[in-house]
């Protein structure tokens, strides 16, 4: 396991490993003498073979889950066979639209499907995941993996026991922008990320750090690849009971610093990142899948032109900005296609349980620090002066 995916300094202790996936044709483990369904590509009792395609399902077909259903129904390598949804009208709508079945229980969904997307509120992730894992079902769990580290541990332990794959829905890892950054970023020294969104009640069962900032936490963990050493964060609650605006400054063992800003009460949508390294810097827009880079060599030439008078100060047209052409794609479609391929080939996914849990650890550390500050503020200046305000390890 990569060193940067180990616990944050000495505070977070975890021995969670990626679950070992079943290989094609390998039987699922039996419990209490009950026969398990067969693996991907083989007919199971009560289901029809679908020509080797992965039998896919969705637990929760609300505003985001409906798109999981749409994409599974469109993939040549998958068959959308069922959904689990508590809303009768929405269940009927999705089943009619995509020709799938509504399952009465999570256990039935797990028996019928090889792979299931869990797209329910975060605080229900573990409760939905565990019955499915008990049936040996591979899971794509929308981010964050769970609402607590204890729940994440229980889910990953169940996945190991059943030999199931767990992919976590950090969707930006399948954005073409991230693909470029993964190839080109080699020694990041400073990263800034801003993620803003208008307010919506969906997702407010958790704070904005677990709701939105966790996207950027996962991104910087993947790019920096170094343990977290220090976190300093602030946040405020405006419309919900938890923080709606947050900022976190994360220092890594290799010296890189990331500054993350997030709001879910903005008047506009923004998903931007800037990465600075010795060779230059990158500036990208995840939402519009566009960006540019400025190389150090080009800036040195620009500085020479300024010194010689060949370029005028303030003339931005003379700055050597290089647009980066990206092949655009729907990140969710790319993510689900990768998940289906991982299940079919019994291979570990790009964003597995370990990365999902590490991102959750960092997000919880930020959240607890924000709420600790709020408690200190309520207790008054005397108590505040007696306690540290930063998380240092």
Report residue 311's pLDDT band, with 50, 70 and 90 as the boundaries: confident
* Predicted pLDDT of residue 43: 32
- What is the SS3 assignment for 338-362? HHHHHHHCCCCCCCEHHHHHHHHHH
C-alpha dihedral (90, 92, 96, 97), degrees to nearest 10:
0
pLDDT exceeds cutoff 70 at 7: no
* Predicted pLDDT of residue 380: 55
The two three-digit tokens of residue 39, written as one number = 């693996």
pLDDT exceeds cutoff 50 at 14: no
| Domain coordinates in residue numbering, the chain | 20-164, 173-328
Question: Fold match between 20-164 and 173-328?
Answer: no
Mean pLDDT is lowest, of 139-143, 172-176, 315-319, for 315-319
Please tell me the total number of residues recorded for the chain in this structure: 393
pLDDT exceeds cutoff 50 at 48: no
Region class of 203: left (phi > 0), else alpha (psi between -120 and 50), else beta: left
pLDDT tens digits, 221-256: 999 999 999 999 999 999 999 999 999 999 999 999
* Predicted pLDDT of residue 315: 81
* Predicted pLDDT of residue 312: 87
Note the CATH architecture for domain 20-164.
3-Layer(aba) Sandwich (3.40)
* Predicted pLDDT of residue 50: 53
Prediction pTM value: 0.81
Sheet arrangement for strand 245-252: 321-323, 290-295, 280-285, 270-277, 190-196, 257-263, 245-252, 228-236, 391-392
pLDDT tens digits, 179-209: 999 999 999 999 999 999 999 988 788 999 9
| CATH number for the domain whose boundaries are 173-328 | 3.30.360.10
pLDDT tens digits, 50-67: 568 999 999 999 999 999
Q: What is the mean pLDDT of residues 16-34?
A: 35
Q: What is the mean pLDDT of residues 115-140?
A: 97
* Predicted pLDDT of residue 314: 81
């Amino acid at each position: 396991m990569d060193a940067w995916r180990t616990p944050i300094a000495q505070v977070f202790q975890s021995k969670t490993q990626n679950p070992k996936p079943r290989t094609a044709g390998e039987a699922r483990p039996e419990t209490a003498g009950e026969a398990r369904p067969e693996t991907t590509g083989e007919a199971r009792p009560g289901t029809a073979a679908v020509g080797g395609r992965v039998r896919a399902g969705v637990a929760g077909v609300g505003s985001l889950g409906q798109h999981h259903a749409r994409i599974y129904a469109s993939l040549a390598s998958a068959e959308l066979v069922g959904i689990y949804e508590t809303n009768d009208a929405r269940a009927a709508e999705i089943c009619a639209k995509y020709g799938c079945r509504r399952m009465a229980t999570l256990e039935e969904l797990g028996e019928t499907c090889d792979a299931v997307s869990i797209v329910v509120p975060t605080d229900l992730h573990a409760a939905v995941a565990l019955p499915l894992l008990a049936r040996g079902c591979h899971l794509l769990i929308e981010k964050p993996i769970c609402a607590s580290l204890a729940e994440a541990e229980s889910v990953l332990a169940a996945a190991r026991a059943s030999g199931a794959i767990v992919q976590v829905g950090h969707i930006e890892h399948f954005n073409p922008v991230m693909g470029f950054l993964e190839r080109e970023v080699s020694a990041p020294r400073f990263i800034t990320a801003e993620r803003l969104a208008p307010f919506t009640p969906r997702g407010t069962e958790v704070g904005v750090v677990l709701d939105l900032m966790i996207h950027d936490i996962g991104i910087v963990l993947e790019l920096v690849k170094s343990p977290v050493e220090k976190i300093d964060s602030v946040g405020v609650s405006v419309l919900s009971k938890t923080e709606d605006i947050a900022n976190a400054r994360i220092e890594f063992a290799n010296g890189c610093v990331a500054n993350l800003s997030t709001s879910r009460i903005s008047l506009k949508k923004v998903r931007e990142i800037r990465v600075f390294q010795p060779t230059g810097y990158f500036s990208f827009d995840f939402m519009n899948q566009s960006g540019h880079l400025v190389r150090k060599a080009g800036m040195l030439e620009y500085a020479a032109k300024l010194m010689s008078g060949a370029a005028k100060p303030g003339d931005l047209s003379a700055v050597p900005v290089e647009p980066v052409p990206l092949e655009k794609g729907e990140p969710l479609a790319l993510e689900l296609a990768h998940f289906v391929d991982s299940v079919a080939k019994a291979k570990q996914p790009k964003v597995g349980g370990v990365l999902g849990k590490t991102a959750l650890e960092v997000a919880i550390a930020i959240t607890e620090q924000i709420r600790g500050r709020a408690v200190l503020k309520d207790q008054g200046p005397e108590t505040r002066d007696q306690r540290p305000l930063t998380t240092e390890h």
